[in-house]
Amino acid sequence: SAAPEATCDLLLQAHARLTEGLLERSVEAKLLLLAALSGEHLLLLGPPGTAKSLLARRLADVCGGRCFERLLTRFSTPEELFGPISLKALESDRLCRKTAGFLPDAEVAFLDEIFKANSAILNALLTLLNERLFDNGGERIKAPLWCAVAASNEMPEAGELDAIYDRFLLRRGVRPISDASVASFMRASLTGNERARSTSSSVFGAADAKELRKSAAQSVVFPSRLLNLVARLRLHLRDEVQPPVVLSDRRLAKAVQAIRVATHAAGGNTVTELDMLLLQHMLWDRDPNQAAAISAWLWEHMVPKVDGGDIGDIQVEGAARAQLDGLYSRDGERNGRQLFRQQDGPGYIYFDIFWRIDDGSMPGGPGSPPWYDSRDNKDSKNPPTGGWATVYAGSDPAPTLWKVVDGCGSADNSVLRAHLLLEGLDARIKNSLAQEAEFQDIQSEIRSLESSLEALVHGRLEGVAGLRSVLGYELGSTSLKSTNRCFWLEDDEVRQAEENVLPRAERAAAEVELLLCK
């Protein structure tokens, strides 16, 4: 395949040709290029007159190859898309179509108002778009289709059209020109004619894109931390968004493959946090506004949280047999100290001579003393993180407590968790009643924690290096170099990454390094 620098130059050249004379269509042009390079399909959804058709035709100009274009209506017939029935074949008692010059013979296709087509056409399109196969009479033939672009003025109805809708990995809601650009748009329309179809050669072809995908699969690393980020986003869309967005397995697999191709095309060899922003164009469902919500979620979660506001809730682990594990929220005071109540269970954390954890009867379970108590922090208004012991011999081990920022759970701030665990271990070391065997256990826990922190800081430093490479920073320097690695980002996204994300990522890595030094 072409060298990374050459591929980036081709991307810039193709993008310039797609957007020539157009305003506010940079993202649409980039998605057209990503669809072509990854061998996927793009749906442009928006009102008439927003240059959807023009952009799709320009893609055929940029990519070359055999192109097919058709405006669909509910009266469209299969012959209009797939070719007429061959009369010569009928003479031999065979039913097949003459596909030359029609969709089964095309490499690049533009299907306008696709959702207005009838079910006979849509059913035939399913296999053609996904498997690149076409059933021509009794023979299933391989179609050379490389990339299809569809346009629609309206969202498809749920149900019958779900299958065809899911075939378009990339989706973009196209808006009219913003108020800020209207004057420039009208001035351009007065001073220039509509761009004529270019007679220059194509920028890249299907063979180039296929080779790029093969090279990306062999050379681009997709870090586990970012695959986990995709998994978390999937859960967020399914469990926390209303209405829920349920992603098909096919869409998830194709999304990460497309991101890998985008990374390689922009000259990268490792997927970074900023590359994940492309997911906003792949994972939204029925509302184009969901793209902005996905983008906001990614900006918030792509790097570890450093500042979380006031320390509030308490996390308890290790008391599962007593059914007291979970998140505890503040619930007033008891005996002049903070009282915490288990969010999804009967537990309480409270002060009564000592700090206690029990199942809610205060004191103790039914006819029993508290499950756990701690002699530490007797003068504090908040419960201690260590020093807990069970009053039942052979019962649960002593639970672990740590403070949680914003009630988001321990996974949201692993450094805070580690810091408080170290506090608990330090308190146990200072306990004069500790036995030699317990000291050995404590040392083993510390070594395990150090190993976890070393892995954590390694991952965070990798994230910082990736961000700096995309933004164009020289290794070990604060100066910028010329780079096309941020090709897929818009200017406002680059600014947000420089001013917000990169500093947060650097602080997140530094705080782990500081904790290791301690």
Q: What is the pLDDT of residues 416-450, one digit of tens each?
A: 566 666 666 666 666 545 566 667 777 777 777 77
What is the mean pLDDT of the segment spanning 212-234?
Answer: 93
C-alpha 141/C-alpha 144 separation (Å) is 10
Tokens 């690049």 label which residue?
108
C-alpha 368/C-alpha 22 separation (Å) is 76
Quick one: angle between helices 206-219 and 249-265, nearest 10?
A: 100
pTM assigned to the model: 0.76
- φ, ψ for residue 348, nearest 5 deg: -135, 150
Among the residue ranges 248-252, 300-304, 317-321, 354-358, the one predicted with the least confidence is 317-321
The predicted pLDDT at position 307 comes to: 46
Residue predicted with more confidence, 364 or 445 = 445
- φ, ψ for residue 174, nearest 5 deg: -95, 120
Task: Give me the DSSP letters along 365-404.
Answer: STTS--SEEE-TTTTSSS--SS-EEESSTTSPPPPEEEEE
C-alpha 184/C-alpha 22 separation (Å) is 10
Among the residue ranges 5-9, 78-82, 106-110, 268-272, the one predicted with the least confidence is 5-9
Strand partners, 270: 221
The per-residue pLDDT for range 488-515, each reduced to its tens digit, is 999 999 999 999 999 989 988 887 787 7
The per-residue pLDDT for range 170-188, each reduced to its tens digit, is 999 999 888 998 898 888 8
What is the mean pLDDT of the segment spanning 438-463?
Answer: 76
C-alpha 439/C-alpha 454 separation (Å) is 22
Selection from 34, 27, 31, 43 nearest residue 7 by Cα = 34
CATH 3.90.1150.10 fits 4-181+204-209, yes or no: no
Among the residue ranges 368-372, 465-469, 488-492, the one predicted with the least confidence is 368-372
Would you list the domain boundaries of the chain? 4-181+204-209, 220-301, 311-405
Token pair in block for residue 453:
């922190």
List the alpha helices (DSSP H) in 193-316: 206-219, 224-239, 249-265, 290-301
Among the residue ranges 248-252, 348-352, 412-416, 441-445, the one predicted with the least confidence is 412-416
Strand partners, 317: 400
Counted residue by residue, the chain has a size of 518
The predicted pLDDT at position 310 comes to: 34
Share of the chain above pLDDT 90, in %: 39
For residue 82, pLDDT beyond 90 = yes
Tokens 């003393």 label which residue?
369
Task: Quickly count: other Cβ atoms within 10 Å of residue 428's Cβ.
Answer: 19
For residue 406, pLDDT beyond 50 = no
Contact 325/317 with Cβ under 8 angstroms?
A: yes
| Burial (Cβ within 10 Å: 0-12, 13-18, ≥19) of residue 7 | buried
